[in-house]
Amino acid sequence: MDGSQDSTLPRISLARSARRWWNDAAAREGRGAAARRLLSVLAEFVRDSTPERRRRRYGDAEYDWDHRVNTTSAAVGWRDRLLGLFHSPYQPTESVLFHEMIEAFGEHTGIDLSEFVFVDLGSGKGRTLLMASDYPFRRIVGVELLPALHETAKQNLSCYHGKSQKCFAIESIRGDATEFLFPDAPTLLYLFNPFPESGMRRLIANLEQSLRTHPRAVYVLYHNPLLEHVLGDSAVLKKICGTHQYAVYASG
């Protein structure tokens, strides 16, 4: 998958997403536990639709207000929120934390960011792409599964003018990020829990294959690393630093 396939992808089907979620969950934890989890996921969806919860999602609108963009999780339609439960719900990275992570990453590794492509797999409305453009990355790429979020990301990219912007080669690609064709260049891969475990395993296998074909420096900056054991199982990625909020892995 690369940018050229952008408009040819089929619409994301709710039934197919739910079926895939069910097959994964039933295989991993058994049908009884999967059914209980499905009920709790649907109950969470109903709770999340109350006016109080919807109001709360506007709580992170400061970034949007400051930059005149639309990146909050508040204005996401019910269908995309339901799809999000079967893939991974959209939630943008908080801006102060993002900058803290990138600064700490830069200090720890001492790398020259201008040699690196910044890739966010599961990039939603593109907030990280905008924030990453404050750094002199060689290029910035986001991949988002849900068409509505990808379209909003494209609008955000076209109207964004950051005072401290240093990278202008930015794109949002619509597609399944587990099938992403990684660039051959040195890469900083950013992940904020975009997939369930099966997707994360596919992604890491894909990255390992890419590293075997094109050995190069690749770092993974994993925010809120709920599935860190998947990276821990990798033969080519080694953890180099982290806190309770993020973990950084490097190709060996």
Residues in touch with ligand SAM (CB under 6 A): 84, 87-88, 90-93, 120, 122-124, 127-128, 143-146, 149, 176-178, 192-195, 199
Q: How far is the CB of 215 from ligand SAM (least distance, A)?
A: 25
Q: Within 13 Å of residue 19, how many CA atoms lie on the same side as its CB?
A: 5
Kindly tell me which of 157 and 177 has the beta carbon lying closer to ligand SAM: 177
Kindly tell me which of 183 and 194 has the beta carbon lying closer to ligand SAM: 194
Q: How far is the CB of 177 from ligand SAM (least distance, A)?
A: 3
Q: How far is the CB of 147 from ligand SAM (least distance, A)?
A: 10
Kindly tell me which of 146 and 220 has the beta carbon lying closer to ligand SAM: 146
Kindly tell me which of 75 and 238 has the beta carbon lying closer to ligand SAM: 75
Q: How far is the CB of 244 from ligand SAM (least distance, A)?
A: 17
Kindly tell me which of 3 and 252 has the beta carbon lying closer to ligand SAM: 3
Q: What is the dihedral of CA 76, 78, 82, 84, to 10 degrees?
A: -10
Do 81 and 148 form a contact (C-beta atoms < 8 A)?
Answer: no
6: exposed, middle or buried (C-beta count within 10 Å: 0-12, 13-18, 19+)? middle
Q: How far is the CB of 193 from ligand SAM (least distance, A)?
A: 5
Residue with the shortest CB distance to ligand SAM: 122
Kindly tell me which of 113 and 130 has the beta carbon lying closer to ligand SAM: 130
Q: How far is the CB of 239 from ligand SAM (least distance, A)?
A: 20
